[in-house]
Structure 1
Amino acid sequence: MRISLLLFLFLTLGMTSCAQQSIPKVLQQLNDGTVDYIFAEDLYQMKAPIVLDAREKDEFEVSHLKNAVWVGYEDFDLDKVIQQLPSKEKPIVVYCAIGVRSEDIGEQLKSKGYTNIKNLYGGIFEWKNKGFPVYDENQHETEKVHAFNQYWSRFLTNGEKVF
């Protein structure tokens, strides 16, 4: 399922690459709206949500949101993650690069009865674009953000792109 989603993403975006793309357009095109969004400014103000990073490990190691827990995407293990999340009502925010993979992970959590799941609108790219801090694997603030590839990197407009 995840491999076919990524293939779909690349094919769909490849066919529309001539058109001017933006984070809102990509999210509208690729997401189903099954997981409510939270905006960077609102997440920044939240008190102690659980934050899950749905990117690949190498992306997470370059930078992530403060106190984020890496759950991955290709290696995501729903049973392992829910063992770490005893409260199904506590606020959980899932993010990825722009918010597509995180919707899929949020859907899986919702299917297990979690009721307070949010998808970070625009993911870590929009978070960094808005000037909020990211941290490296040693928990030091950094300007680096893994931009996934050349295509996706166009959506990161603030910070140092790493591939």
Structure 2
Amino acid sequence: MKNKILYILLFFSSISFAQKSIAEVLKKYNKESITYITAKDASKQQNVVILDAREFSEHKTSRLKNAIYVGYNDFNLKKTIKKLKNKQQPVIVYCSIGIRSEDIAEKLKKAGYTNIYNLYGGIFEWKNNNLPVYNSEEKETDSIHTFNKAWSKWLKKGIKIYD
């Protein structure tokens, strides 16, 4: 239910996003209960698990290297935990800009994971910082799934793809 409400809020408030920066949107919709990590800092991490908290069509189009799809609407904590053996291992969760990823990271935190980060600005800031993004064939791509047209304004580099 919470997922549906979030999508409805995001859809109807997309008009108000027109005047806001990523920072303002994150401040408005996030509790900041999960530590942010910047794209540049995240790209330097080793031995980190990267979780993609977007929908499958988004993940199929573009993703961070070795990202594990966990989804948002169909997120399953039990299945995800099976992929995360060590509760102290660094885990970075991302989505388009960092709203959905905070929700998923909070669930992991409640499950006892202690080293969870939310990628600030999500895959958009990753690409905006000239960091590589990959398609479903694990080939580097400039095509980034932007969720929808309203959200695509924050992707400054790359080819905007939305359904």
TM-score (norm 2): 0.95
- Are residue 26 (structure 1) and residue 25 (structure 2) matched? yes
Give the CA deviation at 1:48.
2.2
Cα pair 2:54 2:96 within 8 Å, conserved? yes
Length, aligned pairs only: 161
* Cα separation, partners in 2 of 1:130 and 1:77, compared to 1, 3 Å: same
RMSD of the TM alignment (CA)? Answer: 1.0
Give the CA deviation at 1:22.
1.0
Q: Which blocks of at least 5 consecutive residues in structure 2 are unaligned?
A: none
Q: Kindly report which structure 2 residues correspond to 1:78-157, keeping only aligned pairs within 5 A, or say none.
A: 78-157=77-156
* Cα separation, partners in 2 of 1:91 and 1:4, compared to 1, 3 Å: same
CA distance, structure 2, for counterparts of residue 154 and residue 67 of structure 1? 26
Cα pair 2:124 2:155 within 8 Å, conserved? yes
SS in 1 for 2:92: strand
Q: What do the CA deviations read for 1:69-110 (whole angstroms, capped 9, x no partner)?
A: 000001100111001111100000000000000000000000
Q: Which blocks of at least 5 consecutive residues in structure 1 are unaligned?
A: none
Partner of 1:48: 47
Q: What do the CA deviations read for 1:105-141 (whole angstroms, capped 9, x no partner)?
A: 0000001000000000000001001110000000000
CA distance, structure 2, for counterparts of residue 122 and residue 98 of structure 1? 4
Cα pair 1:9 1:30 within 8 Å, conserved? no
TM-score (norm 1): 0.95
Cα pair 2:14 2:151 within 8 Å, conserved? no
Partner of 2:12: 11
Give the CA deviation at 1:10.
2.7
CA distance, structure 2, for counterparts of residue 71 and residue 85 of structure 1? 12
Identity of aligned residues (%): 48
